[in-house]
Amino acid sequence: MNLAVVNEAVTEMNGVEHQFTEEEKNFVVQFAFRSGSKEDTISLIEALAHSADKAESDEIMVTYRAKYDMKPAWVEQVENLLVALEMYRIEEEKAINHLADILNAYGIDVSAEEIRTTETETLKTTVREKAEVR
């Protein structure tokens, strides 16, 4: 199981006399989880522990990233944000359509497109005015 490899990777990093950077720690954990390979993860930790500087460390991470086709952290963050954005758009569309249905059911003639383009305060005023007439 990949979580067991992650746990072993963290234990292994703690046992090495090297001050891993946050970027290195995150990379090792991601690599361990994605690869599921204890041997490759230990090899990665040893390579990073013997790296002389950041440039060498970065080179090691590029090599291991290519080994399992891992994306840089920023690419994953962007992809996750894009997925979240699309989910919000879908939920927004559902909410707009539901609101249009409710308003139409109460005699307020407004389309989903009007809800999208009209300011919220204007819609609130319309609803209040219709509620007072009833």
The model's pLDDT over 78-95, given as tens digits with 9 standing for 90+, comes to 887 888 889 899 999 999
Report whether 31 contacts 70 (CB < 8 A): yes
Q: How many CA atoms lie within 13 A of 116 on its CB side?
A: 9
Q: Which two tokens stand for residue 83?
A: 């997925």
Q: Where do the structural domains in the chain lie, given as residue ranges?
A: 2-70, 74-133
Q: What digits encode the pLDDT tens for the residues 40-58?
A: 999 999 999 999 899 999 9
pTM: 0.52
Distance CA 23, CA 114 (A): 47
CA 92 to chain centre: 19
E strand residue ranges, the chain:
none
The residue written with tokens 């990073």 in the block is 48
